[in-house]
Structures are given as C-alpha cells and as structure tokens.
Amino acid sequence: MNFSRIVGTGSYLPSRILTNRDLERMVDTSDEWVFTRTGIRQRHVAADNENASDLALAASRRAIEAAGITPRDIDLIVVATTTPDMVFPSTACILQAKLGIKGCPAFDMQAVCSGFVYGIGAADQFMRSGQYRHALVVGAEVYSRILDWKDRSTCVLFGDGAGAVVLKADTAPGIMSCHLHADGSYADILSVPGTVRGGEVSGRPLLKMEGGTVFKFAVKVLGEVAEEALAANNLAKSDIDWLIPHQANIRIIQATARKLGLSMEKVVTTVDRHANTSAASVPLALDEAVRDGRIRAGQHVLLEGVGGGFTWGSVLIKW
C-alpha cells in the first residue's frame, strides 16, 4: 500500500507585532481582559504589501529545505486559506508560480480554521493513489484584512501567519488516519458575509462571530474527533505524545486536554504569541514543536481543527 509521511515543516510570521497593550490604544479593551479570556498576549500583522501567497512562500521554502528536496520535486500543492490573494486564480497557483514550478496540480482548500487538517486529509488521499511523491500542504492567512478593528469582541482574537509541511510517499503510514466533518446549519455563527457583485462588495466582508456558541461547539467536537482518531487506530488516550489543537483560545485548548485526560505539558500551544491564525495555526505550532525538538521519531501526534462552516477534523500521525 501507499502512504504519506511528513518529512519537512516550515513557518513564517510577519515582522510586525501587535500586542494587547497596542490594542488598548485602538479599541476599548485591556491586556488583562484579553489575556484572561483567551490566553493571547500578542499577534503578528502582515505588511500592506504582504499577501497570503507571500506568507505561504516563505513557510514553503523552509519546509522544502527541511525536507531536503527542491521545489521541482513537489508534484502536488494544497493551500488552506480563508484569505486568498484574490477571487481567482487560487492562492495555490500563485504560490506554485512563485516557487518557480509548473505542471503539478495546485488548489486551495477552504475550510476556515480546519483548513490545514482538511488539506492534510486531501493530500494524504492523493498520495495513497500512488501518483504523487511529494505534496506541499500550506496554511496561510492574513486575517487582519477581514477584521472590524472597532469590534473588541473579535479583533483581539486573530493574527496573520503561515505554516507548511512536505509529505513524502512511504510504504509505512506516517499519516495514520484523517477524520473530517462539517455541519452547514451553523454557517451563520462564524462567517464573513460579504461577496463581490457587479464589481462592488455586497454584504459586510468583515468577520462576525457568536463567541459563546463557537466555544461550546469547539470543545464538544474537538473531544469527539480526537476519540474518533484513537478508536480508528486502536490507541488509548495515554498513547498521545503530543496534541496540537487549533490555536483559538487557551480555554478551549485546556478543556479539550481535560476531556482527553492529557496534561498541558503534552499540548503544544502558541496562542499566546500568535493568536488565532485560522488555517495557519496548526502548522505554525507543529513547526515550532518539531524545530525545538519536542516532537521526535516514533511519537504519536494528534492534530485538530474546528472552524466556520462549521468544519472540524483530526489527523493522527506516527512521527
């Protein structure tokens, strides 16, 4: 059988840092209010000339270098983003051109904060067909462009960034299983209800969210989809070496860890420094934990995401 394995990770964060103290001068909030409710201290904000493909390019180059290959070795590109460079072509095609390659399939994955998990799931299925040797999966977001900076309930939560991985075909499963779900009946709970019509923006293209509903739903499904992954692989909760959940809110992360009986010492968290970077949050955290040596060969790593749609999913990996 054909399987896929992560052989390289990379990430990129814009140079501008916006702290909670900075936000105090922009909106009616405080560092204490934001941190106690979310665990966030700061976030990165893209420069005016930085688009999702630019962030993706920097992260991709680092992942490709870590994998010990060249861009020409990539034969599949999946970019998870909610904030594409433009309506079309896809950010994946723009990234492909910036990498200096052509010919391989390249497409965007739109599952909001679950996007990277969905992207891994899609790429893994492509790899299992036996047609592809190296897949590049990226999560890249510039959420600062779709925030209402006067809405203190949402603008304090998000940041910009990108993370990437290279998957390589293997005879043994690195990606053990992927579990993806959606429930469109929750579409209005977390959305950016704007579109382009007749050359003008129709609706309000800024993020809106019912925070309480999102919190409850996230805690519920993140616990369920983690147990689904473990059951599918006949593993116990104690077999999880590292949990890397979507970095939306430290309280959601802590509640998920409690449901799985995991100490927070086994949970990778970056939400304090990155805030919620949507599809980029999981690969950003993954790259950090790989590069600092926490994640080692033979360990079980569980990735999880939940986002607007609602979408949610998990990926269980044998490193």
Pairing of strands 16-19, 42-45: antiparallel
> pLDDT of 222-259, one tens digit each?
999 999 999 999 999 999 999 999 999 999 999 999 99
Q: Are residues 297 and 281 in the same domain?
A: yes
Q: Are residues 57 and 166 in the same domain?
A: yes
64 phi and psi, to 5 degrees?
Answer: -65, -40
Q: Are residues 110 and 202 in the same domain?
A: no
87 phi and psi, to 5 degrees?
Answer: -60, -50
Count Cα atoms within 13 angstroms, Cβ side, for 311.
23
Concatenated DSSP letters of 7-72: EEEEEE--SEEEEHHHHHTTSS--HHHHHHHH---EEEE--TT--HHHHHHHHHHHHHHHHT--GG
Separation of CA 252 from chain center: 16
Domain boundary among the residues 150, 172, 194 is at: 172
Indicate which residue of 246, 249, 274, 300 is catalytic. Answer: 246
Tokens describing residue 119? 């992207």
CATH of the domain at 283: 3.40.47.10
Separation of CA 139 from chain center: 5
Q: For 276, which DSSP code? A: B
Q: Are residues 24 and 142 in the same domain?
A: yes
Indicate which residue of 93, 113, 155, 178 is catalytic. Answer: 113
> pLDDT of 172-191, one tens digit each?
999 999 999 999 999 999 99
Tokens describing residue 73? 């070795």
User: In terms of DSSP H, where are the helices of the chain?
Assistant: 20-24, 31-38, 52-67, 91-98, 115-128, 211-232, 250-259, 271-274, 281-291
The Cα 304–Cα 284 span in angstroms is 13
Domain boundary among the residues 172, 187, 203 is at: 172
The Cα 229–Cα 179 span in angstroms is 7
Q: Are residues 37 and 85 in the same domain?
A: yes
Residue 313, classed as helix, strand or coil, is strand
Q: Are residues 43 and 165 in the same domain?
A: yes
Q: Are residues 15 and 140 in the same domain?
A: yes
**Structural domain of 38:** 3-172
Active site residue 51: no
Q: Are residues 120 and 267 in the same domain?
A: no
Q: Are residues 134 and 194 in the same domain?
A: no
The DSSP H or E segment spanning 194 is: strand 194-197
Q: Name the domain count of the chain.
A: 2
Listed residue (280, 305, 275) closest to 114, CA to CA: 305
Residue 185, classed as helix, strand or coil, is helix
Indicate which residue of 178, 274, 276, 300 is catalytic. Answer: 276
pLDDT in tens, the chain (319 residues): 799 999 999 999 999 999 999 999 999 999 999 999 999 999 999 999 999 999 999 999 999 999 999 999 999 999 999 999 999 999 999 999 999 999 999 999 999 999 999 999 999 999 999 999 999 999 999 999 999 999 999 999 999 999 999 999 999 999 999 999 999 999 999 999 999 999 999 999 999 999 999 999 999 999 999 999 999 999 999 999 999 999 999 999 999 999 999 999 999 999 999 999 999 999 999 999 999 999 999 999 999 999 999 999 999 999 9
Q: For 158, which DSSP code? A: B
Q: Are residues 182 and 124 in the same domain?
A: no
Active site residue 234: no
Tokens 């070795």 locate to 73
Tokens describing residue 117? 């998990």
The per-residue b/e assignment along 244-266, b for 16 or more CB within 10 angstroms, e otherwise, is bbbbbbbbbbebbbebbebeeee
Q: Are residues 161 and 203 in the same domain?
A: no
Separation of CA 37 from chain center: 21
Report yes or no: 140 and 81 within 8 Å, Cβ to Cβ: yes
Pairing of strands 3-12, 160-170: antiparallel
Active site residue 113: yes
Domain boundary among the residues 149, 172, 195 is at: 172
Q: Are residues 299 and 198 in the same domain?
A: yes
